[in-house]
Amino acid sequence: MAEKPARIARFHVDVALRAGSTVLLPEDAAHHAVHVLRLRPQDEVVLFNGRGGEFAGRLAAVDRLRVSIDLLEHRAVERESPLAVTLVQGVSSGEKMDFTVQKATELGVWALQPVVAARSVGRLAGERAELKRAHWRRVAIAACEQCGRNRVPEVRPVLALADYCRQAGAEGSRLLLAPQSRLGLREAAGRLNGAVALAAGPEAGFEAAEEGELAQAGFTPVRLGPRVLRTETAALAALAALNALAGDF
């Protein structure tokens, strides 16, 4: 049996890219390239900056953690979902939130809006909230590098749920994952347009008053099925189902 060709490494760089130029990898990416992937000069790579498409590249030189890449050509390729979904996710604890951000990115989410609900574990505000936001953006970037996306989902500033509901923008159709709802996701999905806001609660869910606030902000309660899903499962199952219904799968 023939061996599978080696997967070409992909790196996100937050700079302007141009075919024919040479760029340096950021230190974290350089460390991964040299010490984890064991890349060497002349190895093929792919670079993207989140502004559209990707660049074929070739590793030009390695000097410790100074890794330079020659950009060969731009490829106008995108791998986005047909639905622009904003995930309004009740902040969950540690690894659960990281898992949600990572997998939602793989499933094509357009934007992530973390919200602090009454039942969220811990409270995020000020500098701590911004540090968490920066961390989640790094998680999303790494997921894009892995899954082939060239558009990094926006990770928006952390908001209290009430603040989000007061300033919720025009995000098209709005769905609230609510196990007690009689309306199923398939039935609701028939009314969706290209933009969707999907709200999912933290570990213990949204309180009744919070569900009322979301309803006033235009969210329609929907259920995924007869089982109550964990916070790190619910939004991802809904995203996968929406993608299937929209023709992404």
Q: What are the tens digits of pLDDT across the range 219-237?
A: 999 999 888 899 989 999 9
Q: Give the residue-averaged pLDDT of 165-183.
A: 87
Cβ distance 206 to 162 under 8 Å? Answer: no
Whole-model pTM above 0.85? Answer: yes
The rounded percent of the chain whose pLDDT value lies above 90 is 76
What is the number of helices (H) and of strands (E) in the chain? 7, 12
Q: End-to-end CA distance of the chain: give it in Å, rounded.
A: 29
Structural domains of the chain sorted by starting position, each given as residue range(s) with its CATH number in brackets = 9-75 (2.40.240.20), 84-246 (3.40.1280.10)
CA torsion sign for 95, 98, 102, 103 is: positive
How far apart CA 234 and CA 218 sit, in angstroms, is 20
